[in-house]
Amino acid sequence: MKLLLGLGNPGSEYQWTRHNIGFLFIDAITHKYGIKTATNNSLCWWAKVEIAHQSIILAKPLTYMNLSGQAASWLLSHYSLSPHQLLIIHDDLDLPWGRLKLVEKGGSGGHKGVVSVQEMLGTKNIPRLKIGIGRPPAGTDIVSYVLGEFSPQEKEQLNLILDQAIKAVEMALSEGLSKAMSVFNKRNLCDL
């Protein structure tokens, strides 16, 4: 992996929503490691950091979620990378709150940002880190839920979840994706 792409929506009104957990991950890892250089264009913001003795590109699309593939495609082309060198970080409704799941490939699960990236890159063989946001309470619209702000309890647990997500990525970079999957896919982080 050479490129970590956190999915979310630009704009302060979306900053603390469940759908922006990919952006929050990029912010957290940027805070931990600092950045060498940062820049942006009309499609994305990106920066370089040193993680596990490797130069890694961190990026956030500046398009809205359903156009995230434009940023992914441009970044891979700009840095001459292939889709398997990309790790997408995004929210997942089908995982309980706080659960992490690394995957090497697979379907989008209906996530519009993932659909966009897979369509633009022409493959489902793209590694991803899914961060569970759980399902909405009965009677709550899914769009309202994912675009809704974190509950007070979720906000209290968010730093722990992002910290564990960073550790999962660090292990994937230093020891390989399979090793990180064997360790982090089994944990329910909110029970730690």
Residues forming the active site: 19
Written as one letter, the residue type at 9 is N
Residue 95 near residue 111 (C-beta atoms within 8 A): no
Rounded CA gap, 168 and 17, in Å? 22
Alpha helices in 5-123 (DSSP H): 21-33, 68-78, 112-121
Q: Where are the alpha helices (DSSP H) in the chain?
A: 21-33, 68-78, 112-121, 142-146, 152-175, 177-184
Alpha-carbon span 28 to 97, nearest angstrom: 18
Residue 136 per-residue DSSP state: P
